[in-house]
Amino acid sequence: MRRWLVTIVVLVGLVMTACGRASQPTVQPPVGGETVTGVAASRLVVVASLPILASMVKAVGGELVEVSAVMPGGADPHTYQPTPRDVATLAEAQVVVYNGGELDPWMERQLEAVRSKAKVIVLSEGLKPPEGVAVEEERVLGTPEPEHDEEHGINPHFWLDPDFAVIYIDRITAGLVEADPAHAELYRANAARYIDEIRNFDTWAKEQIATIPPERRKLVTFHNAFPYFAAHYGLELVGVVVLSPGREPSPQEVAQLVARIRAEGVPAIFVEPQFNPKLAQTIAQEAGVRVLELYSDAAPAGMDYLAMMRQNVTNVVEGLRG
């Protein structure tokens, strides 16, 4: 009897999930990409977990790949639930690209479910935080360090540090070359050009950050996506609004954050488009600081990796320079 009940509950849940999401678009067009032309049949079919990672694949693959993202733009990957259509998309992929770690764990589960034979590229696999970077949310707020093992507890947002973005591009390139060796030279040439662009961006970004007075280089973000970005650009990560994805802070935690923003003289706090900005606006109001936007896991439709990074640096400078 009990087992039947469980089965029925599970079935109803599945039907509800399917219905509730049926109208939602599940496959995003390539970010900043071109429309598919007559040569589509010969293109390598690549599926990435997030639009921002798909934009990196597009930069390397160009016209040789047909790339899409499982997660729609503007969603939060940490709490994303793949739909039946996502699973079907993944089943057809020749190459699959995802970040790994605690960002998009649903990709690994779905790949197993469809018994995918695709070439899989896990962009953050084996990456370690740079020395001295505090990556745990709890440490940012000064509470004891949580239990830490190799797979869990490592902050997955490596791509927001351009040095790690170069590693992502190298890994995408190696994967595409392996899947489509006939076009190896083209992939490598595209990658070299894109890495040059990342380096040029980074030089510009450092010049921009240098215009912020040192005592104002203090960052408070919505979720803990920016420890590597902050470390790379010499910003002090003073706090985050949401300690872990999907968990609202307690009133006491909010009060502590407001107190820290005031005590440290943090000039502004940053929201992200995939989250409701209300809480951050309340905190900013209480602390008497500005609210601006940063992009991490989600960027506006059509915005590729480098455009997103330029916008982030522009907004940080606007918010902190004074």
Give the Cα separation of 29 and 52 in Å (integer). 12
The distance of closest approach from Cβ of residue 105 to Zn ion in the complex, given in angstroms and rounded to an integer, is: 12
Given a contact cutoff of 8 angstroms between Cβ atoms, the answer to whether 269 and 220 are in contact is yes
Residue closer to Zn ion by CB (options 90, 225) is: 225
Q: Closer CB to Zn ion, residue 61 or residue 82? A: 82
Smallest gap from residue 235 Cβ to Zn ion (A): 18
Q: Which of 141, 124, 59 shows the shortest CA–CA distance to 306?
A: 59
Nearer CB in complex with Zn ion: 52/65 = 52
225 binds Zn ion (CB under 5 A): yes
Shortest CB 88 distance to Zn ion, Å: 26
- Quote the least distance from Cβ 2 to Zn ion, whole Å: 38
Torsion of CA 93, 246, 256, 158, to 10 degrees: -10
87-126 positions binding Zn ion, by CB under 5 A = none
Q: What distance in Å separates the CA atoms of residue 139 and residue 145, rounded to the nearest whole number?
A: 6
- What's the residue count for the chain? 322
Q: Which of the stretches 41-49, 63-71, 122-130, 219-227 binds Zn ion when contact is defined by CB under 5 A?
A: 219-227
**CA–CA gap between residue 64 and residue 187 (Å, rounded):** 9
Closer residue to Zn ion, CB minimum distance, 139 or 216: 139
Only segment of 90-98, 165-173, 218-226, 248-256 that touches Zn ion (CB under 5 A)? 218-226
Site for Zn ion in 268-307 (CB under 5 A): 297
Let me know: does 97 contact 71? Beta carbons within 8 Å.
no
Q: How far is the CB of 274 from Zn ion (least distance, A)?
A: 8
Only one of the segments 54-62, 198-206, 221-229, 308-316 lies at the binding site for Zn ion (rule: CB under 5 A); that segment is 221-229
CB of 224 to Zn ion, least distance (A): 8
Query: Least distance from C-beta 242 to Zn ion, angstroms?
Result: 10
Question: Per-residue contact track with Zn ion, 178 to 217, x per CB under 5 A?
Answer: ----------------------------------------
C-beta nearest to Zn ion: residue: 297
**Which of these, 220, 275, 216, lies nearest to 253 by C-alpha position?**
220
Q: How many chain residues bind Zn ion (CB under 5 A)?
A: 2
Q: How far is the CB of 298 from Zn ion (least distance, A)?
A: 9
Q: Do β-strands 119-122 and 95-98 pair in parallel, antiparallel, or remain unpaired?
A: parallel
Angle between helical axes of 305-321 and 51-61 (0-180°, round to 10)? 130
Nearer to Zn ion, 191 or 308 (CB): 308
Nearer to Zn ion, 287 or 298 (CB): 298
Binding pattern to Zn ion, positions 129-168, x when CB under 5 A? ----------------------------------------
Q: Distance between CA 1 and CA 133 in Å, rounded? A: 53
Distance CA 165, CA 158 (A): 7
Which stretch of DSSP H or E encloses residue 16? helix 2-20
Q: Which is nearer to Zn ion, 75 or 225 (CB)?
A: 225
Distance (Å, whole) CA 213 – CA 134 = 23
d(CA 133, CA 115): 37
Q: Which residues contact 158 (CB under 8 A, 6 or more apart)?
A: 99, 123, 124, 127, 164, 165, 167, 168, 228
In angstroms, what is the minimal distance from the CB of 155 to Zn ion? Answer: 9
Contact set with Zn ion (CB under 5 A): 225, 297
